Amino acid sequence: RYNLSQETYTRLIVYDALGNEVFKLVDGIQKPNYYEINFDERFTKKLSSGVYFYSLQAGNYFAVRKMILTK
């Protein structure tokens, strides 16, 4: 989940534990709004259980967080 206060270029990317890009969930300009991405079976069916990372870049904001996928 993330909230944009102004229109900005946004990227949300999921990486595996080795740093390889797994999915590019968002890559483009988004309008101010509240957004929620469900990392559900559409994405996870080809992945194994384990540790993954996601990065969110929106304007000058940049963050990387860890997530654990269990099946």
Residue 46 has pLDDT above 90, yes or no: no
The mean pLDDT of 47-53, rounded to a whole number, is 95
pTM equals 0.87
Would you place residue 43 in the very low, low, confident or very high pLDDT band (cuts 50, 70, 90)? confident
For residue 58, the cross-strand partners are 10, 61
The mean pLDDT of 55-68, rounded to a whole number, is 96
Residue 60 has pLDDT above 90, yes or no: yes
Residue 51 tokens read as 């540790």
Look at the block and give the residue holding tokens 């963050």: 63
Closest CA to 11 of 68, 54, 44, 70: 54
Measured CA to CA, the distance from residue 17 to residue 65 in angstroms comes to 12
